Chain A
Amino acid sequence: MSRGARFTERLELLWLGATVGVGLLGLRLIHMQVVRNQYYAELAERQRTQVIAQTAPRGRVYDRNGEIVATNQPAFSLIFLPGKAQDPARLAGLAESLARELHRDRGELHERLLEAAREETAIHLAENLPLKTMFKLSELKTLYPGVDLIVEARRYYPNGAFAGHLLGYMGKVDRRQWLRLKGKGYRVDSWVGRSGVESRYEDVLRGVDGEIRMEVDAQGRLRRRLDEVKWKAGGNLVLTIDSRIQAAVEEALRASPSGEGAAVVLDPRTGEVLALASVPDFDPNLLLLPEWDLGKRAASTLPEFNRAIQGTYAPGSTFKVVMDAALLQEGTVRLDERVWCPGYLAVGNRTFKCWEKKGHKWVDFLTSLAQSCDTYYYTMGLRAKGPVIERYEQLFGLGRKTGLDLPGERSGNVFGPEARKGRKRGWYDGDTANLAIGQGELLATPIQMAVVAAAVANKGTLWKPRFVKKVERPGAVEEPASEASGRIDLRPEVWDKMQEAMVGVVTRGTGQRVNIPGLVIGGKTGTAQNPLGDDHAWFIAWAGRPGEVPSLALAVLIQHGGHGSSAAGPVARKAIEAAFDLASAKVHEAPAEGAMIDEVPPEPDAEHPPGRAPKPPPPAEPAPAPARHVPAARPAHSAPAPAPKPADGDVYSEDE
């Protein structure tokens, strides 16, 4: 039936070959689709999903009156989700466009985009975008797949620079930090508290970030939301800070002659910090701004030095308070003993001058402190001897950190024969004389001096100051108790005398600027000689209502401020006025409630632990003051207190 020879057996061989080939393909298909299906399904799933981290709102920080001092605000962030098939040329174009819009370095941006593409992780290109930039950038979103704008909760400090040194600021985790923290849920682009409360209470304030799983296409474009793990907001903190005092102190410090200084206000009954300020200060909001903008400039010139706990200065005449304790307790001095002050004292072959060149004539114990007579303290210091004074330095906590729960506190320097030991220079009477008026190598921080003032006010308790009233972790509220770092055991009458002497300073001595009728105020001025420049001005004080335990203790330092009374005194006065609600106390304008948005997406109560009502808005109390009646503030000079010698205004207060 056929023409010509066929080689059908060869055809059959080919047919067999094809069958075997297809059989092999079938086996491979069984392996891939049936046996290894799980593996491939996971690969497919992984590359079609992209996880976008949702930064949890950080816990809020309140002052003791319930006023919000740190909260959150919604902000727009620009993110980039690298696609699986990202075109390098497109990335370069994107870097170009972004550099133009964000005013940033093109090369650096390109590098980051490439790295994100390599690592296949989403990154934040820019954060806290201003609205205007955001609209411009939303155009890029349509041009470049993978670029997207998201809303996130960002830290916000409603009062700007308010308590900046205490609150601290936020920063991006650096690479090294991230390696340490990544196990705790931090991402490469996470923010972390960098100083102050933000840093110290990072673990409380930081919430648990959420995640949104998005479906992305090969170009990295977001397609739809697959599912979401909700973030958990961080715990809240209630500080012991009183905004009114804090604001008053800050304002007064800024208005001081040098504009550099610090103030610490404590409650001597509990050791709670009512205010802690240092100028120059900074607005932590600036550091949250987009990097390319103000933020970078702010970060490079950040006045991070917190003089209140890190600045050490010779305490000058404020040290005479400690001297008094030593002299009275050790019985070195008789209260009615009078010392002739000709304006100087010869010690060995050196002459030590009193700040009052004309001399104070005859001075007794109370007058010596009120007038801050140096000659008296030279004399008594030499009588008490160096080692005793040094012991009292230590008794009052000088040379030791107060233990305030902030990083970077300095301990100052003890000055005395013991401290001198082992050094080339021996201890001489001249040193004792210097020490007696708080000079020489004696160094103290403002917070140490505040603790000293508080110890006098409460008669012996040396507090370890604290600034946290309540830690509200989700589900658990902690209220740390006050701790004393030491107890100064002096005879009760010694304390009484010391208080009397300090009251004298305010009523008839060098500290009359701080005299406020209706209050019992004890204080001591100080002008610390500074070989490097203008003198530092000190003022330490305590205050209370008559018949009550003093409820306020403070220390003010104005660096290069000149004289204690004129430079530091007004700050102390403002603090006391604010604390006791007097008219001139300016209250920090609280922003209208509605203007503050705390978190995104807005779910007002989400950050509160279940079962607890949200924090009520701050009571009417801190509202602006005009309605309040108070006795008109009188100029400090016209103090009616009988001044034995009109203190000659603010010319020279003491020392030198």
Chain B
Amino acid sequence: MKAESTSLRGRVDWGLIAAVYGLIAIGTVAILSAASPLPHYAQIIQRHFLALGAGTLLFLVALGFNYQVFQDQSKVLYAAALAVLVAVLVLGHVQRGTKGWIRLPFFSFQPAELARILTTLVLAGYLDRRAQRSGTVGFVAGGFALTLPVLALIMLQPDFSSTLTFFPMILGMLYCAGASLAPLGAMALYGAVTLGLPLVWTMILLHPAWSSASSILGAFLAMREMGGAFVVALLVIFSAAWLAWRLSLQLRVSIPPPYFMVGALLLAAGLSSAALVDRQLKDYQRNRFVAFLLPAADPRGASYNVAQAQIAIGSGGLWGKGVFSGTQSKLGFLPERHTDFIYAVIGEEMGFLGTMAVLGLYMLLLWRIVDTARQARDRYGYLVCCGLGSIFGFSLLVNVGMCLGFVPVAGIPLPLLSYGGSNLAMGLFSLGIIGNIYARRYAFY
């Protein structure tokens, strides 16, 4: 065991490296092909390889750097995360309506990507410290409270998409840290209401027939116009909670009253934030919902991207049309082809073989992360693996699911494959940490 731990063979996770660089290789080929018709092709390729070089450097640094230092320096990391996010709000430049980029001499840098990893490390440290109280509500609330400032700063940019991967990270880590399910469920409920209600609203607005068929819904919609619906909904929630409590008393089922109170408050809070989100939703974001809910509504509009991605993947067939020969990507039918929809390019040009290779390599990657978590020498390392693994797993499912029409277009790139320097470099950095956790699994002090 000692011998194994000291030899390079035992310390380096070759499976992880194979998965990471296999994915990057496929991604690079796809980017080379997908971006080729673009006017600033040379610049894109230059940046990609620059980021790849920087990312590899970060990967190697993280691989050799004792990850436990991150736990000791939690406060510094936390301060750094907040600092870069404040900095981007002050110094950043606006791109696509979002102030999310800091422009440096050779490249632009997206601090939200760094902040995500730093937050993972900080949260892992926090949860590890409070592990004794993992069953309490405070454990969950504390975890959320810790990430709230980071999320708020990103929302200020405003970058809705970048915050999305925080939630699986937080929930995944809390879950794996042993948080009790009730508060976790409550949080999940809150999140579901917050994100789900706007979806439902959009759905209802898309089907005028529903509201005319149901007078209650129609009346509710009318009140929404006047702003009264919110108040009515709150009243309904609280009276429903009260009625449920009375009912439980009648039925002599002993449920403590606070449960009803908390449930009602949670729904009310979800409703409030849902109203906020609904109001904050940009048109293009709402259109993405529409595209997902009703793909046939407007084939040239919002659902165009998804439809084109599906055509690209489906037309690829078993062997693909050949790299650089995809008509969907070469002729410009496929939008965002080198970024969010890179998977569709792979599907078209490399076929079923390519898509399966990506899924396979990703499964290898996730397995290496999970396996590292299992073998990590401390709980901190374990939690870091869980958090980062959640990010990678979630991104994979959502991005590929989006290309296949399972999930609404959320603007989440496919890590290691999509074009995007910060995302690639930070992805490599985080996987370097995983590699380090693996390397140090037997290390003793």
Query: A residues touching B (Cβ–Cβ < 8 Å)?
Result: 1-8, 10-12, 14-15, 18-19, 21-22, 24-26, 28-30, 32-34, 36-37, 39-41, 43-45, 47-48, 84-86, 215-219, 223
Contact = CB atoms under 8 A, between A and B. Distances in A.
Contacts of A25: 359, 397, 400-401, 404, 406
B363 A19 contact: yes
With a 10 A CB-CB cut-off, give which of B134, B351, B393, B406 has the most chain A CB atoms.
B393
Given A33-B313, A47-B333, 15 more contacts: A2-B377, A4-B131, A5-B131, A6-B379, A7-B177, A11-B386, A18-B396, A26-B359, A30-B352, A32-B404, A33-B351, A34-B352, A36-B314, A44-B312, A85-B300
A21 B399 CA distance: 12
A312 B34 CA distance: 74
**Which of the four size classes fits the interface of chain B?**
35 or more
B12 to A, nearest CB: 20
A218 B397 contact: no
A158 B405 CA distance: 61
A2 B378 contact: yes
A542 B218 CA distance: 89
A18 B176 CA distance: 14
A2 B370 CA distance: 16
Given A2-B378, A28-B406, A217-B332, A7 B356 contact: no
25 contacts: A1-B377, A6-B176, A7-B175, A8-B382, A11-B374, A14-B390, A22-B363, A25-B400, A25-B401, A29-B355, A29-B404, A32-B313, A32-B404, A41-B317, A43-B311, A43-B314, A44-B311, A44-B328, A47-B311, A47-B333, A48-B327, A215-B327, A215-B331, A218-B332, A219-B332
Interface in B364-405: 366-367, 370, 373-374, 376-379, 382, 386, 389-390, 393, 396-397, 400-401, 404
Contact of A32 (B134, B310, B382): B310
A41 B404 contact: no
Given A5-B131, A14-B172, A25-B401, A40 B376 contact: no
With a 10 A CB-CB cut-off, give which of A8, A25, A84 has the most chain B CB atoms.
A25
Contact of A14 (B176, B348, B378, B401): B176
B397 A21 contact: yes
Contacts of A19: 363
Interface in B312-357: 312-318, 327-328, 331-333, 335, 347-348, 351-352, 355-356
B366 A15 contact: yes
Sort A-B residue pairs by CB-CB distance and give the 3 closest, nearest first. Answer: A40-B314, A218-B332, A44-B315
Contacts of A48: 327-328, 331, 333
A85 B331 contact: no
Nearest to B404: A28
A34 B400 CA distance: 17
Interface of B, secondary structure class, is helix
B359 A218 contact: no
Contacts of B327: 44-45, 48, 215
B43 to A, nearest CB: 21
With a 10 A CB-CB cut-off, give which of A4, A15, A36, A217 has the most chain B CB atoms.
A4
A34 B320 CA distance: 11
B304 interface: yes
A184 to B, nearest CB: 31
A15 B364 CA distance: 12
Contacts of A6: 176, 379, 382
Contacts of A39: 314
Contact of A40 (B172, B300, B311): B311
Contacts of A8: 373-374, 382
A33 B316 contact: yes
Contact of B176 (A10, A26, A28, A33): A10
With a 10 A CB-CB cut-off, give which of A19, A22, A32, A41 has the most chain B CB atoms.
A32
B429 interface: no
A39 B311 CA distance: 9
B225 to A, nearest CB: 29
B139 interface: no
Contacts of A14: 172, 175-176, 386, 389-390, 393
B362 interface: yes
Interface in B172-188: 172, 175-178
B440 to A, nearest CB: 12
B302 to A, nearest CB: 12
A21 B363 CA distance: 11
B315 A37 contact: yes
Nearest to A25: B400
Interface string B290-316: 000000000010001000001111111
B270 to A, nearest CB: 24
A84 B314 contact: no
Contacts of B393: 14, 18, 21
A43 B389 CA distance: 37
A44 B356 CA distance: 21
Contacts of A2: 376-379, 382
Contacts of A218: 331-333
With a 10 A CB-CB cut-off, give which of B131, B300, B314 has the most chain A CB atoms.
B314
Nearest to B305: A85
Contacts of B176: 6-7, 10-11, 14
A117 to B, nearest CB: 8
A10 B318 contact: no
